[in-house]
Amino acid sequence: MKQNLTFATLWPDDNDFMSIVHPHWHKFTQPDPLYYYLVGIYIGIVGILAVMGNSLVITLFLLCKQLRTPPNMLIVNLAISDFSFALINGFPLKTIASFNQRWGWGKLACELYGFAGSIFGFISLTTMAFIALDRYLVISQPFKTFSRITYGKVIVMIFITWIWSALWSIPPFFGYGSYIPEGFHTSCTFDYLSTNIRNLIFNAGLYILGFLCPVFIIIFSYYQIVKTVRLNELELMKMAQSLNAQNPSAMKTGDKKADIEAAKTSIILVLLYLMSWSPYAIVCLMTLVGSRDSLTPFHSELPVLFAKTSAVYNPIVYAVKHPKFRLEIEKRFPFLICCCPPKPKERLQNTIVSKIQVSQIGIGTASRSNENTLNTVKQEN
């Protein structure tokens, strides 16, 4: 039966495709067709949701002038990348290949597919790191000139995300690494199996610079955000008392809730990032340390499924939960809000910036120009 065939004997006449199938996979039996169908359905659902979600973000940005702020340009860059990633590397190519139980478009298409997955994946990763860094500067360093993100700065950031991603995606076409079938042989990615020196050095660079560096930036930035909120709580309470607040205890309770929300949001962002891209990092690390013999098609397929989910939740986490984006969705697409009604009291970003503004004024370190700076920051975010 077909499911008892190995990958080496499935397509004996397709020399073009077999030329890029790594010998490591030759010994493995093709998975049961049921697994292919389940993957195809899963990728189809994820791909459609990702295309719809990111299309919504891009559409709102184009239609609403008030959303065209420098920080939101980073969010749109992320949406464009995730939209392209979902459309090219998800539905329909991956879905069709899964139902056909093989990659059916030859070597060149496999390499282009791998290139697209690489460049859009790295753009998303790098953009998320820039978004985290921007939020850290705005919230934790609000009075420093360099913390103000401008259109010029954000254009440079976006340019860097594309150039940086291209630098890691183009080398396989010139002998530094390669793009080959992975997992169930219905998609293609970097060759993390070959042991030649060029491939090992290239994969080590991918692991350290492509994955660990963005992880460090994201974790550092969100840790500093939570730390800033906690440090400003005492100053905020002092300000409330000096203004003879009617109910300081209630304000304190509200502040603690905001602290908890800040911590929760930061943890969620970090965990989602790690959930999506850690499986690929683990597989890459396994091969770098010489444990590739234990790598099965199922082990290789799981990172594909996890990575593609990022294109679904990114527009929700980074845009739809944003107060101004939500407001425009309520105005233009109210039927989309019914499943997740807005919670004005939980608008974390405005709450944090407001807390910092009051606390800085309360301890006498904010001048009139600083107040204007904070107002600008609030408008931009």
CA dist., res. 80 & res. 89, Å (int): 14
CA dist., res. 140 & res. 124, Å (int): 24
Q: Give strand ranges (E) for the chain.
A: 179-182, 187-190
Write out the DSSP string of 271-304: HHHHHHHHHHHHHHHHHHTT-GGG--HHHHHHHH
Q: What is the pLDDT of residue 361?
A: 37
Packing angle of the helix pair 106-140, 70-89 (nearest 10 deg): 160
Percent of the chain clearing pLDDT 90 (strictly above)? 38
Q: What is the pLDDT of residue 261?
A: 60
Paired strand residues for 179? 190
CATH code for the domain in which residue 15 is found:
1.20.1070.10
Q: Which two tokens stand for residue 325?
A: 């984006």
* Domain range enclosing 286: 2-380
Q: What is the pLDDT of residue 356?
A: 41
Q: What is the pLDDT of residue 5?
A: 72
Q: How far is CA 159 from CA 77, 112, 118, 241, 367, in A?
A: 10, 22, 17, 47, 35
Q: How far is CA 317 from CA 15, 79, 108, 311, 337, in A?
A: 44, 11, 35, 11, 15
Mean pLDDT of 348-360: 43
pLDDT at 200 over 80: yes
Paired strand residues for 189? 180
Mean pLDDT of 28-38: 92
The count of structural domains within the chain is 1
What is the per-residue pLDDT across 94-127, written as a single tens digit (0 to 9) for each? 999 999 998 888 899 999 999 999 999 999 999 9
Task: Give the model's confidence band at 378: pLDDT under 50 very low, under 70 low, under 90 confident, else very high.
Answer: very low
Pair type for strands 187-190 and 179-182? antiparallel
Cβ atoms of residues 136 and 102 within 8 Å: no
Highest mean pLDDT among 144-153, 337-346, 351-360: 144-153
Mean pLDDT of 235-264: 59
CA dist., res. 105 & res. 102, Å (int): 9
Mean pLDDT of 323-332: 84
Q: Which residue has the tokens 């790191």?
A: 129
Q: What is the pLDDT of residue 354?
A: 45
Phi, psi of 339 (to 5 degrees): -85, -15
What is the per-residue pLDDT across 277-318, written as a single tens digit (0 to 9) for each? 888 888 888 888 877 888 899 989 998 899 889 899 888 887
